[in-house]
């Protein structure tokens, strides 16, 4: 598999994961948390989870810009890596301070791994190298 194909598949997989999670949080936040094995939250908090779902889904959909070209793809990867790293750091800090249950660690690890993976690819210049 060439680099460009791998990068597009990665983008499709990660973007799809976020787009689906976002939609699920918008339309079924309590059920989504249950699937993630996150403890129940107050009913009044569900609207904020749906609001987060709009953001998460939008980040996922932004990966579709990868199909436009390498310049756009590299920009999407930079942006999403920064967002994911920020989310991972925030979640880890909140989990260790006792403000969030440890079930959120899966999200932190996922975002951290994706951010570091994208960062490594960006640093290696794969988007600039084309089909490699």
Q: How far, in Å, CA of 6 to CA of 13, rounded?
A: 10
Could you tell me the pTM of the whole model?
Answer: 0.90
**pLDDT at residue 115 is higher than 80:** yes
Q: How far, in Å, CA of 10 to CA of 16, rounded?
A: 10
pLDDT, one tens digit per residue, over 54-98 is: 999 999 999 999 989 888 999 999 999 999 999 999 999 999 999
């Amino acid at each position: 598999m060439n680099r460009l194909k791998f990068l597009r598949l990665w983008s499709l997989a990660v973007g799809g994961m976020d787009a689906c999670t976002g939609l699920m949080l918008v339309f079924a936040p309590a059920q989504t948390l249950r699937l993630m094995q996150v403890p129940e939250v107050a009913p009044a908090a569900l609207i904020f989870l749906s609001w987060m779902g709009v953001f998460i889904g939008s980040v996922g959909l932004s990966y579709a810009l990868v199909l436009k070209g390498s310049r756009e793809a590299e920009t999407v990867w930079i942006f999403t890596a920064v967002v994911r790293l920020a989310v991972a750091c925030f979640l880890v800090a909140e989990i260790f301070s006792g403000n969030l249950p440890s079930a959120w660690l899966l999200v932190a690890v996922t975002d951290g791994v994706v951010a570091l993976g994208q960062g490594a690819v960006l640093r290696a210049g794969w988007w600039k190298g084309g089909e490699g």
